[in-house]
Structure 1
Amino acid sequence: MAAQSLHVPDTVLLDAYSLSVSQVAETLGPAVGMVTTDGKGHGSGVVLSQDGLVVTNAHVVGSHRDVHLALPDGHRLAGRVLGADPDTDLAILKVDGSALPIATLGDSSGLRRGQIAIAIGNPLGFESTITAGVISALGRSLRSPSGRPIEDVIQTDAALNPGNSGGALAVSSGEVVGISTAMIAGAQGICFAVASNTVKLVLGEVLQHGGVRRAWLGVAADTVNLPRRVADAAHVGSRSGAVLHSIVKDGPAGRAGVREGDVLLALDGRPVEGPGPLLRMLGADAIGRQVRLQILRQGRLIELDVVLTQRPTVQG
């Protein structure tokens, strides 16, 4: 009697980890395509609505307005950039399509270190590539193409390469929790994604206003260390502040009397430890609001009231 050949279906052999990754690849993969602009540069994009809303990185589209999205099923869709926000390295596109496969944005605030992280994109032009790892760290800060810090960035060891930019970072449920944005050249397993909650904010701003609104002081700032006696006298509980320069004469701060070399210690009582914390305070909700600046000027503590305006687009 001949020995019987044993055939076990692959699904039985797959462990829970492999099965989880393969299921995400099957369900989410069709919604992640390749974004091209002038036919040369390329990145990835994630479809968010059946009628063609797509999120990608701002550095993928650059200054281009016309784009194309190639989906894994072979469809190539023309589209345009609805709005780009270099400060978060995100851009929202609208491509011509209907009944498109879509991805679901999850809640990135519920992530935990060690969770499975699955990246889908087009590294080096290789379409629909899947890599997997874990969420390595949360709450990172990463410098954006505009020079401003992107807050609440996700760090992962899921392999990313040029072309993954704008692709999806998902968890085992298949929800997208981040948009891949950067890797560190020469490092292994240190890659970053913009959190999905940031994507939701940018998406809402672009759809409602055509871009992301932010409040504006009309200054540039650098971090400066504070002597303990100064910090104690100012009651800011911080050993650093923001030294202000490049004051725009007709900007909010300039009109209020802010001078070159002033050190900003607090805004409405909240310590300003440097440019990053200052920028985080200048969201859309602060536009039109009067705020009180606590300033150190030539050894004296003074307070100035400033009415914040919307940051002009030309200011970058």
Structure 2
Amino acid sequence: MVHEQPRSQCIPSQCVPRHSTPSRSLRLTTFLLFVFLANTASAQTSAHDWARTAQSKVVKVYGAGGMKGLEAYQSGFLVSPEGHIATAWSYVLDVEPIVLLDDGRRFEAEIIHFEPSLEIAVLKIDASALPYFELPKIREVQWGDPVLAISNLFNIATGDEAASIMQGRVASIASLDARSGTLKTPYRGEVLVLDLVANNPGAAGGAVVSADGKLAGMLGKELRDSATGVWLNYALPADVFRKTIGDIIAGRATSSAAAKEPQLPRDRSHNLQTLGLVLVPDVLETTPAFVDRVVTGSPAEEQNLRPDDLILLVSGQRTENQRLLKKRLRSIDRRDDVTVTIQRDNDILTVVLKP
């Protein structure tokens, strides 16, 4: 018996041999897949490049640990090619700090000035041609935007090791003023609330950057709600501190005014005794103005100043050491009130001492 082969159901001109070249649709699909993979790889490479560039602008800051032996390290980031560094004001800056750059170079830094209402400080190192973040005029991120938090949290990075990176999003943009009295911070304004655990020891002063590598904010210090005990992971928006840092860099906000002010006669000016303050022994030219004892019945006791409080500002002028504090008091009439900004542990407080 002869079996007939099944006849082809296609028109000869449309029949495709089993081993023919791929169809046009298959070739198009393959090409689009190749383009997608190439673009994905390119995007990953680009994201890695700008993230690494942002890391190179973040520095490690080492200083004092305060009177109670707290962590002696935090983070900062470069805001000018001439070595200006923005960081958080904290007990780490009780003394002139040491700064380590991303490439491992080590510098002694000078504290140029700080703004207590924002809890930020500007340092200066003797270097040039450094990578730096430009301070944005407008807010770079909004609610839901992806961000990277770059800092030396837990002092993980040492030497020329790059700062640590955490990835997350802006969970919300909220005002700390709405929770006044429950959060111990002098700042009253909007913050970027982050959905990552970014505010760890050492992270304060670190940079928060947007998805395209632009500066979005500065990581704040560890902050806990006194009512609930919940820790807040937040950053100060860059557009909030842009003008302050610009003024400090430009010299429009300096701490040298006290040395230039006219000195009043000793019987007409304030001094430590009129305020009821006894400081720790002044053994060095740079001894910080730590309170050792408060005199009973004095203006200092009335305003609840305590031992271990560090006097930061007098009438808005920074007092880097005890000698500058005494000069500053010599320029204030004994009949006038004295506004003093102090640091107590991790809090910044402003009190008015009435004669």
- Give your verdict on TM over 0.5: yes
Q: 1:134 to 1:124 in 2, by over 3 A?
A: same
- 1:312 to partner: Cα distance: 6.5
Task: Specify the code of the residue in structure 2 equivalent to 1:198.
Answer: V
In the other structure, the counterpart of 1:209 is 253
- 1:187 to partner: Cα distance: 5.4
* Aligned CA-pair RMSD: 3.5
Bigger mean CA offset, 138-147 vs 19-28: 138-147
Task: Specify the code of the residue in structure 2 equivalent to 1:166.
Answer: G
In the other structure, the counterpart of 1:49 is 80
**Does the Cα contact within 8 Å between 1:67 and 1:79 map onto a contact in 2?**
yes
Task: Specify the code of the residue in structure 2 equivalent to 1:33.
Answer: V
- 1:56 to partner: Cα distance: 0.2
In the other structure, the counterpart of 1:301 is none
**Does the Cα contact within 8 Å between 2:137 and 2:242 map onto a contact in 1?**
no
Task: Specify the code of the residue in structure 1 equivalent to 2:123.
Answer: L
- 1:61 to partner: Cα distance: 3.8
Q: Which runs of 5+ in 1 are unaligned?
A: 1-9, 212-310
**Does the Cα contact within 8 Å between 1:83 and 1:210 map onto a contact in 2?**
yes
In the other structure, the counterpart of 1:194 is 236
- 1:37 to partner: Cα distance: 1.3
Inter-partner Cα distance in structure 2 for 1:43 and 1:150: 23
Inter-partner Cα distance in structure 2 for 1:171 and 1:42: 25
Confirm or deny that 1:96 pairs with 2:126: yes
Q: 1:86 to 1:182 in 2, by over 3 A?
A: same
TM-score by length of 2: 0.51
Q: 1:11 to 1:36 in 2, by over 3 A?
A: farther
Inter-partner Cα distance in structure 2 for 1:13 and 1:44: 32
Q: 1:11 to 1:59 in 2, by over 3 A?
A: farther
Number of corresponding residues: 210
- 1:23 to partner: Cα distance: 3.1
Secondary structure of residue in 2 paired with 1:149? coil
Q: 1:177 to 1:76 in 2, by over 3 A?
A: same
Task: Specify the code of the residue in structure 2 equivalent to 1:105.
Answer: L
The Cα offsets for residues 128-186 of structure 1, whole Å up to 9 and x where unpaired, read as 10011111111421779984233121111233121111010000121111000134567
**Greater radius of gyration (CA):** 2
Task: Specify the code of the residue in structure 2 equivalent to 1:23.
Answer: D
Inter-partner Cα distance in structure 2 for 1:79 and 1:11: 45
**Does the Cα contact within 8 Å between 1:132 and 1:159 map onto a contact in 2?**
no
Confirm or deny that 1:158 pairs with 2:200: no
Confirm or deny that 1:59 pairs with 2:85: no
Task: Specify the code of the residue in structure 1 equivalent to 2:254.
Answer: G
**Does the Cα contact within 8 Å between 2:204 and 2:222 map onto a contact in 1?**
no
In the other structure, the counterpart of 2:105 is 75
Inter-partner Cα distance in structure 2 for 1:14 and 1:162: 35
Identity %: 23
Task: Specify the code of the residue in structure 1 equivalent to 2:55.
Answer: G
- 1:205 to partner: Cα distance: 3.5
- 1:51 to partner: Cα distance: 1.0
In the other structure, the counterpart of 1:178 is 217
